[in-house]
Structure 1
Amino acid sequence: MAPSYDKTIATAASLAASLMLVRSLANELLPSEVRDALSSALASLRSRMTWQHTIVIKETEGWCRNCVYDAVEAYLATRINTNLNMQRLRVSSAGASEKMVVGMEAGEEMPDVYQGAEFKWCLVTREVKGDSDSVGDGAHEVRSYEVSFHKRHKEKALKEYLPFIVAAAKAIEDQERSLDIYMNEHGNEWSSIVLQHPSTFDTLAMDMKQKRAIVDDLDRFTKRKDYYRRIGKAWKRGYLLYGPPGTGKSSLIAAIANHLRFDIYDLELTGVDSNSDLRRLLVGMTNRSILVVEDIDCTIELKQREEDDEEHSKSNSAAKKKAEDKVTLSGLLNFVDGLWSTSGEERIIIFTTNYKERLDPALLRPGRMDMHIHMGYCTMEAFRILANNYHSVDYHATYPEIEELIEEVSVTPAEVAEVLMRNDDTDVALHDLVELLKLKKKDATDDIKIEGTHVDGKKDSDEIKTGSVQVEEKKDDEEVVVKNVFIDNRSG
């Protein structure tokens, strides 16, 4: 047996040497055109002899996340239980109260059968080094799913199997997935946590007419994909929420996310170094998401172009370069309705501010912020919703007095909610609210500023004894209420 084995080894070595000699002679004697033709023919022969084809689905494509990768990940998670032969699994959970998600571990294979055809999936990871300008060593992990199948199923894989996976993943996501809220970190990267905000339109303290208008607008937007494509506009919608602090702007954003089942991308502009980084962040957003920029008047310098030019002319070249690198209003607007606005679909863009009058008109024009929503002070209708939320009551003996006081004073829904949460006893909580409203009414009366000449002919510097005067009381950001106030100081 040993001589036969030695003979086989010797024959293999001789054949290998002969092939190397033939290759060397071919490279020297044959023209490059002939060598290329032979190489192509051999490659074609190998392709015909190989029965297995493979499709690679990368996690990202350039700056954008690959939606097909996410669909495959969601779909395969539902198939894990039917593949008990897998030796290594990856288990994760978004939180203590969330269910565990089971997925594939790198290097493992999982078969799947679709309409009689077998497809074999594998998760592949590799580490890629970044460029010299990256923070640290710049290395990061690149992941991809690879699906292998018999070559006769190639058309089925591309035209039927993968579209089936995308549709199945969308149905799974709509039914089961938790929402995420993303924050920007390290310049141009997003990090996320699970969004657990319980706000809904049912619990939102807002007048029903205004609430219904917002819900109808959102529902109409999500159904108009073909309409936006037909008219040649990006499939997006912009909302400006403005009003005093504590009027429910953040709760409305959470209610919109829960209603649409959209993730939230909370963009902190002060953490972005340049327009280039801003583009990277915004292009990296997924479809069916909400971009939120809170306190837009405070997070970016919204100066007129003439003011910018004047300041730039007074600065040196280094300062000019630094200013050019910063995030600008034009850089933000380019994503809102410029060429970059078409980088995604079915997106909501929300800006919030406490002072609408401070915003640059460029932000407010039609086509950028499609709907302006004023978040005002608490009304009786909003109060009734809060009372039902916190104490499950539709009516109480204090309601007539509360209604009268709410009409006279400016109180935010947040202030009302804070009082209602202090005590589990409904009677005590509502009587505490009455006291708060009375105190606000007294403070508002004490703070009235009287200007001009009064009914008795005395000027501002004169002491007012008795008289009826007209004063202006600012009710909220837009409304100025003129009231007749009677002042009686005769008793001292």
Structure 2
Amino acid sequence: MDSQKKALETTKNYLTTTASIAASAMLVRTVVNDYLPYELRNLFSTGIDKLLNRFSQEITIVVQENEGLNTNDLYEAANTYLRTKISPTMKRLRASKREDKDSITLSLDDGEELVDVFKGASFRWRFISQQEDRSNSRNGHDVSMYSVNRWYELNFHKKHKDTAIEIYLPQIIDLAKEIKAKDRRLKLHMNEYDNWSPIDLHHPATFDTLAMEPELKRTVMEDLARFVKRKEYYKKTGRAWKRGYLLFGPPGTGKSSLIAAMANYLRFDIYDLDLSEVSQNSGLKRLLMGMSNKSLLVIEDIDCSIDLQSREEEKSKESNYKDEVTLSGLLNFIDGLWSTSGEERIIVFTTNYKERLDPALLRPGRMDMHIHMGYCGPNSFRVLASNYHSIDKHPRFEEIEDLLKEVNATPAEVAEELMRTDDVEVALDGLIKLLLTKKNEQDTKSSSEESKQLNQDEPEKGVEEHDAEVRIDGEKEL
């Protein structure tokens, strides 16, 4: 009994001393903050923090949003899990609402804390967000660049360390996967400098609604389905698990709709890369590392997004910067060592002018399938008629389809006419008038070109007589 009293007395004295030291430290910190200059204040603050940590029984685990160039899966899991633990007593929260959901989603705001009790242990989470100024100077001009660093701090008593690492955190990852599976939202990411910013993807395009010739549509769908099933094949052959698609054709032929249909079909997020926002090859690498697996990387209008010199021009070009965005950097981004940083990725380039692209971009292994998005044909028209007016047949279909075989009309132009009115007869009549107008313009243009060609083929009189004279002279010489 005496030994127990002695132990209790010792513990009491220890706690009293610790509390006294902590209180004194806090008092000293207050005095330092009020009366000392910043340099000395910072030095004292650091020393006090170290002193308090020496007596603290807590462990802190920092869960960063990114680890180097890689995204941190644990951060994403914690972000998802903690939303389910929001308490009404919390004072500062972030609120958001999806258009396709009735409920409002709450999450931790900067500096807010949340206590989660697991197997009798308290785990205290705190969300922190800081903006980092990465401004620099290029060609004598100041360039403002900012990035946001986000992380969670997880605090708990040191006696629960094994529980936290071996049970608690792994369970959070598993629960987050279940939550995401139930409420899977496709994301459309856009790049701001070398960071991705996501929004929900709401594009409704599917292969069923896509105005595309059936055989081509079937080929694309089969190729995509085969790709996602070939993980072991790519591993066995020593290739990165990715596939490239080049979509080319006139404006308005449905290239963007096909991309959305591919994403909805595969359930892949889209990363829409704007090369004009990227100033260096190193920025391209950071963006690639920031992409998730099962994603679709898109560079639209690649022929005019930035001026990509050929590799010969790159070597001869004199530049003040060795690390600007170049064709070589882009090729390494899609097909070099950096392309192996993720798995199950689709890369899509779009262009209106395939002939303007450097051949190095188009070879197999970079752009594996070249898909020509052409003008609207009879089959594509029937899909559009079904989409906009829910009809599969009509007496005027034959006339429209015959005109579409002769006239170059894009699916966008046909769709625009069909959606002008809910009256089927009026809509089809307007479409026929559009196609007849195009046919007349096309015929007039063809006649003009034929006439011009005839005038070019007919030689001038003086030239014809001179040529005849030369031939006669030649015959005489022979």
What range describes the TM-score normalised by the shorter chain of this pair? Answer: 0.7 to 0.9
The CA distance in 1 between the partners of 2:166 and 2:172, in whole Å, is: 11
Q: Is 2:319 aligned against 1:320?
A: yes
Matched, 1:166 2:173: yes
Which residue type is aligned with residue 109 of structure 1?
Answer: L
Q: Residue in 1 aligned with 2:215?
A: 209
> Which residue number corresponds to residue 402 of structure 2?
404
Pair 1:427–1:250, CA change in 2 (3 A): same
CA 1:102–1:307: 2 relative to 1, 3 Å: closer
2:321 equivalent to 1:282: no
- 169 and 390 in structure 1: CA distance in 2 versus 1, 3 angstrom threshold: same
1:298 and 1:395, CA in 2 relative to 1: closer, same or farther beyond 3 A?
Answer: same
CA contact (8 A) 2:85 2:116 kept: no
Shift in Å, 1:402: 0.9
For residue 103 of structure 1, the aligned residue among 87, 92, 107 is 107
Query: Is residue 268–residue 295 contact of structure 2 (8 Å, CA) maintained in 1?
Result: yes
1:49-101 per-position Cα deviation (integer Å, ceiling 9, x unaligned): 96x65543221112332122112211232344xxx475236242255554421
Instruction: Return the offset for 1:372.
Output: 1.4
List runs of 5+ in structure 1 lacking aligned partners: 1-7, 17-45, 313-318, 463-492
Map 1:351-366 onto structure 2 (within 5 A).
351-366=349-364
Shift of 1:131: 6.3
- Contact conserved, 1:53 with 1:151, CA < 8 A, in 2? no
Q: Does 1:343 align with 2:341?
A: yes
CA 1:461 to 1:399, structure 2 compared with 1: closer, same or farther past 3 Å?
A: farther
CA distance in structure 1 between the partners assigned to 2:182 and 2:217 by the alignment: 25
Are the aligned partners of 1:300 and 1:328 in contact in 2 as well (CA < 8 Å)? no
Counterpart of 1:68 in structure 2 is 74
Q: 1:260 to 1:430 in 2, by over 3 A?
A: same
Asked if 2 retains the 8 angstrom alpha-carbon contact of 1:275 and 1:325, the reply is yes
Q: Which stretch shifts more, 428-437 or 60-69?
A: 60-69
Please report how far the alpha carbon of residue 430 of structure 1 lies from its aligned counterpart in structure 2 after TM superposition: 0.6
Contact 1:336 1:368 in 2 (8 A): yes
Could you say what secondary structure the match of 1:92 adopts? Answer: strand
- Taking the TM superposition and a 5 Å limit, the aligned residue runs for 1:123-272 are 123-125=126-128, 127=130, 130=133, 133=136, 140-146=148-154, 148=156, 151=159, 154=162, 157-159=164-166, 161-185=168-192, 187-272=193-278
Q: Aligned AA for 1:445?
A: D
Q: Deviations over 1:120-171 (max 9, x none)?
A: 24024264765674966968543224264774672x6545544443343234
1:435 pairs with 433, 436, 451, which one?
A: 433
Letter in 2 for 1:181: L
Distance, in Å, in 1 between the alignment partners of 2:99 and 2:320 is 48
Is 1:382 the equivalent of 2:389?
A: no
Q: SS where residue 433 of structure 1 aligns?
A: helix
Q: Give, in angstroms, the shift of residue 183 of structure 1.
A: 2.2
Q: Which moved more, 1:173-182 or 1:324-333?
A: 173-182
**Residue deviations 1:21-67 (CA, integer Å, cap 9, x gap):** xxxxxxxxxxxxxxxxxxxxxxxxx99x96x6554322111233212
Residue pair 2:62, 2:151 contacting (<8 A) in 1 also: no
Please tell me the residue identity of whatever aligns with 2:96: S
Q: Give me the TM-score of the superposition, normalised by structure 1.
A: 0.73
The TM-score, its normalising length taken from structure 2, stands at 0.75
**C-alpha distance in 2, partners of 1:444/1:264?**
39
Moved more, 249-258 or 88-97: 88-97
User: Which string of whole-angstrom CA distances, capped at 9 and with x for unpartnered residues, describes residues 195-239 of structure 1?
Assistant: 222211111111222222222222332333344334332222211
Judged with a 3 Å threshold, the aligned counterparts in structure 2 of structure 1 residues 326 and 442 are, in CA distance, closer, same or farther, namely same
Cα distance in 1, alignment partners of residues 459 and 437 from structure 2:
28
Residue identity in the other structure for 2:428 = L
Partner SS, residue 320 of structure 2: helix
